[in-house]
Amino acid sequence: MPETLIGLARPGGAAPPGFAADRALARGDALAGYLLAGLSAGAAILVLLTLGGIIAALVRGAWPALSTFGPAFFVTEIWNPVTGRFGALAPIYGTLVTSLIAMLIAVPISVGIAAFLTELCPPRLRRPLSIAIELLAGVPSIVFGFWGLVTLAPFLQAHIEPRIIDMFEGVPLVQTLFAGPAYGIGLLTASLVLAIMILPIMTAVLRDIFEATPALAKEAAYGLGATTWEVLRHVILPHTRTGVIGAGILGLGRALGETMAVTFVIGNAHRISESILAPGTTIAAAIANEFSEATGSLYTSSLVALGLLLFVITFVILAAARTLLMRTSGGQQP
- Per residue in 173-195, pLDDT (tens digit) is 888 888 878 888 899 999 999 99
- Calpha distance 99→67 (Å, rounded): 29
The band of 155, judged by pLDDT with boundaries at 50, 70 and 90, is very high
Contacts of 250 by beta carbon, 8 Å cutoff, 6+ apart: 201, 202, 205
Q: What is the CATH number of the domain that holds 244?
A: 1.10.3720.10
Within a domain: residue 301? yes
Stretch among 151-155, 217-221, 319-323 having the lowest mean pLDDT: 319-323
Within a domain: residue 105? yes
The reported pLDDT for the residue numbered 138 is 83
Domain hosting 97: range is: 85-328
Q: What is the pLDDT of residues 286-331, one digit of tens each?
A: 998 888 888 888 999 999 999 999 998 888 887 877 777 677 655 5
Give the pLDDT mean for 64-83: 89
Within a domain: residue 199? yes
The closest alpha carbon to 195, from 254, 154, 240, 266, belongs to 254
| Angle, CA 291 vertex, CA 150 and CA 59 arms, to 5° | 130
Which of the two residues, 24 and 213, has the higher pLDDT score?
213
Q: Is the pLDDT of residue 234 over 60?
A: yes
Within a domain: residue 13? no
Within a domain: residue 209? yes
Domain count along the chain:
1
Within a domain: residue 51? no
The band of 16, judged by pLDDT with boundaries at 50, 70 and 90, is low
Within a domain: residue 170? yes
- Calpha distance 95→287 (Å, rounded): 12
- Calpha distance 185→323 (Å, rounded): 36
The reported pLDDT for the residue numbered 98 is 93
- Count the residues in the chain: 334
Within a domain: residue 300? yes
What does pLDDT average to over the chain? Answer: 84
pTM of the model: 0.82
